[in-house]
Amino acid sequence: MKPLIYSVLDAEDKGIGWQRCGEDIVYYKNNLPAPDNSSSSLYSLSWTCKFPNNNDTYYFAHCYPYTYSDLQDYLNEIQ
């Protein structure tokens, strides 16, 4: 699954929200010990991403964020 990226400038100037991004995406089991000393495994994600806008702020997410406003809209629909 591709990570998501959000560009503040693209959102302000073009109305573009969260978009899938990245190349060379790899999920893998790493060698770090679990913080609780259990036998569970930890995993890492690595990928490459291009940042087309200078002086921009970018945010990353694993899945589309579900905001409080989204929840309020949904609750209003089902009332």
Residue 4: both structure tokens together: 């998501």
At 40, give phi and psi (nearest 5°). -70, 155
pLDDT at 61: 95
Q: What are the residue ranges spanned by the domains of the chain?
A: 4-78
Q: What is the pLDDT of residues 2-30, one digit of tens each?
A: 999 999 999 999 999 999 999 999 999 99
Residues 58 and 9: their CA atoms lie apart, in Å, by 9
Residue 1: both structure tokens together: 């699954």
SS3 60: strand
Q: What is the pLDDT of residues 63-72, one digit of tens each?
A: 999 989 999 9
Residues 28 and 46: their CA atoms lie apart, in Å, by 9
DSSP bridge partners of 45: 27
